Amino acid sequence: MSLLYFIDLFGTAIFAISGVLLAGRLRMDPFGVIVLAAVTAIGGGTIRDMMLGATPVFWIGNTTYIWVIIVTSLLTMLIVRRPKRIAWYLLPVCDAIGLAAFVGIGVEKALSYQSSYMIAVMMGVLTGCGGGILRDILAREIPMVLRSEVYATACIVGGCTHTGLLELGFTSTQALLGGITVTLLIRLAAIRWHLSLPTFALGKN
């Protein structure tokens, strides 16, 4: 099995944990927890595959992803029994790790279907952000990607780093790890120092 596949499964598990933690904070029942975990973990990749015309969608062709989500969700529910005592940073850090992994996966998969670096970066951003957007919508929260936090920007810079390293002649694995590292560092820095982008607001008449 390839490194890419293991990174994909790792990102799936991490994003599932992110979904479970949010569901626990909102006091959902076990079914709701697993649904939110699944949407978070495979939502972005599903939209990506549909847009790229990849058939079947990755988790239909390989049900290991579904089992990873179910097992991860059940284990997380057993380990984390007191949602109110979850450290404030645990959810965003888990989300950051999954985000970085999925951006790299999205870029790699897009490049396997077409040659445009721009589209590859866009698919990386979609893979990384799509599941989180669906998760937050279902949880009735404003998606992080739409707030002033440095979120989608980290994905774009990471994706550009990934494709830039490929253009410079680095191997696929080196470019993948480089892009993941950049995305993760930017997102963790944003969490640690509360970095944000300027907001757009209409002036008062």
Q: What are the residue ranges spanned by the domains of the chain?
A: 3-193
Return per-residue pLDDT of the chain as tens, 205 residues.
587 888 889 889 999 998 998 898 888 999 999 999 999 999 999 999 999 999 999 999 999 999 999 999 999 999 887 655 667 787 788 888 889 999 999 999 999 998 899 999 999 999 999 998 999 999 888 887 887 679 999 999 999 999 999 999 999 999 999 999 999 999 999 999 988 888 777 766 5
Full-model pTM: 0.91
Sign of CA dihedral 188, 189, 191, 197: negative
Here the tokens at position 168 are: 């410079």
Query: CA-based angle 13:11:22, to the nearest 5?
Result: 55
Give the type of residue at 93.
Answer: V
